[in-house]
Structures are given as structure tokens and as C-alpha cells.
Amino acid sequence: MKKLVVSGASNSRQSINRKWAQYVASQVPGVQSNVLDLNYFEMPIYSVDRENGGGIPDQAGKFLQEIKSSDGVVISMAEHNGSYTAAFKNIFDWVSRLEYRLWSDKPMFLLSTSPGARGASTVFELAKVTFPRLGANITASFSLPSFNENFSPDKGITDPVLNQQFLEQLRLFTQSL
Ligand SMILES: Cc1cc2nc3c(=O)[nH]c(=O)nc-3n(C[C@H](O)[C@H](O)[C@H](O)COP(=O)(O)O)c2cc1C
């Protein structure tokens, strides 16, 4: 059975991005999901001096290993002030020092959501441009606006037009695995 690494790029215990990413992974047929909690990978804030002084924390290697041992990545980007959450960016920075192409060419379903109508589209677009340089093979992408209005844990996406668009991306991702 294929293995997916699934993450909401947030350290919130109530993360809507984690809920959304988990739901999406549950819609991919015949896969096993490994949900990563970013709190487990918390490290000191990246600095060149820390790296030169003490090396790279073990958690960075563990995060990289999770990606490498997977067959695909489902990640939903939370947006803080138009960018990555600090929790995600710190992990991203440390892991990129171990291996620049950290996403390891795994098929990626890139997602985002927020309670607002823009659906965290700024960080979504940022990741779309940046992640491929770091080894991401983005085979599908979808940003869900107004999470609380458009998503139900039982029914998934409640807006039919958005759901159609999502299903097409889901098909592309499933095909790419
Ligand atoms: C410090 C901070 C900054 C935020 N900035 C943005 C933003 O720039 N754009 C946005 O759509 N939502 C923003 N939000 C609202 C988040 O989208 C909302 O908290 C969302 O639930 C975060 O995702 P998560 O639940 O997966 O952590 C911000 C929230 C916080 C706490």
C-alpha cells in the first residue's frame, strides 16, 4: 500500500489546514496516511551561528526521513501575515540545510485554506513557486476559501462548483502516485 505524508503547515492543535489535509488524504483510494504534527519537530529558531556551533537538530533528519520514506505528500499551507507560519518555516529552513531538495521529487498535493475568502492564497502561490526549486513535484493543487462555510467533516466540500474543481485535482494527484 502506498504511504502518504500528510501535514497542515501549522502548529495549532485545532489546525483547519491539518483537518483539510487529512480529509483530502482520506479521499485518495488505497493509501495509508502518516499525519505529521509539527509540534513534534519543534527546534530552536534557525540561525547560521546555531548551525555552525551545534549542527542540525535531529528533528530535521526525522522530518526528512518521513518524506523520503513516503510515496507522496499532502500538505495544506496555513497563512500568517501573508506567508508561512513561523513553525513551518523554521522546520523548512533546518531541513533545507540537510538537503536542499527536501521534498525529494515525491508527488505533492499542495493545498491551503483559511477562514477568509482568499483561502490563504498568498502563501499557496508562494509555495507553488518556491517548493519545486526544493524538489517538490506538485501534481495537483487546490486552495479552499472560507473553510468554515465550504467544508463539512461529513460531506467534504459543500459548494458544488468548488467540489468539482477539487475532484479534478484529486484525480490528477491519485494518477500521479
Ligand atoms: C498571526 C496570524 C496571522 C494571520 N494572518 C493571516 C493572513 O495573512 N491571511 C489569512 O488568510 N489568514 C491569516 N490568519 C488567520 C489564519 O488563516 C487562521 O488562524 C487559520 O485558522 C490558520 O490556519 P490553521 O488553523 O491551520 O493554523 C492569521 C492568523 C494569525 C494567528
At residue 148, the pLDDT reads 98
Distance CA 112, CA 67 (A): 19
At residue 143, the pLDDT reads 98
Estimate to the nearest angstrom the gap between the alpha carbon of 47 and the chain centroid.
23
Q: Closest residue (by CA) to atom 18 of ligand 1?
A: 114
**Which residues sit opposite 142 in a β-bridge?**
111
Query: pLDDT tens for residues 71-114?
Result: 999 999 999 999 999 999 999 999 999 999 999 999 999 999 99
Q: Closest residue (by CA) to atom 20 of ligand 1?
A: 114
Say what the pTM is.
Answer: 0.98
Mean per-residue pLDDT, 35-48 = 98
CATH architecture assigned to 2-176: 3-Layer(aba) Sandwich (3.40)
Query: With a 6 A CB cut-off, is 81 part of the ligand 1 pocket?
Result: yes
Query: With a 6 A CB cut-off, is 16 part of the ligand 1 pocket?
Result: yes
- Return the best residue to mutate from 79, 85, 118, 150 for the ligand 1 pocket (most ligand atoms within 8 A of CB): 79
Q: How confident is the model at residue 39 (pLDDT cuts 50, 70, 90)?
A: very high
Query: With a 6 A CB cut-off, is 80 part of the ligand 1 pocket?
Result: yes
Distance CA 136, CA 72 (A): 10
Q: Report domain extents, the chain.
A: 2-176
Distance CA 76, CA 61 (A): 21
Residue whose C-alpha cell is 528533528: 59
Mean per-residue pLDDT, 167-171 = 98
Mean per-residue pLDDT, 162-171 = 98
- Identify the burial level of 78 via C-beta atoms within 10 angstroms of its C-beta, where 0-12 means exposed, 13-18 middle and 19 or more buried: buried
In ligand 1, the atom with minimum distance to the C-alpha of 115 is 17
At residue 129, the pLDDT reads 97
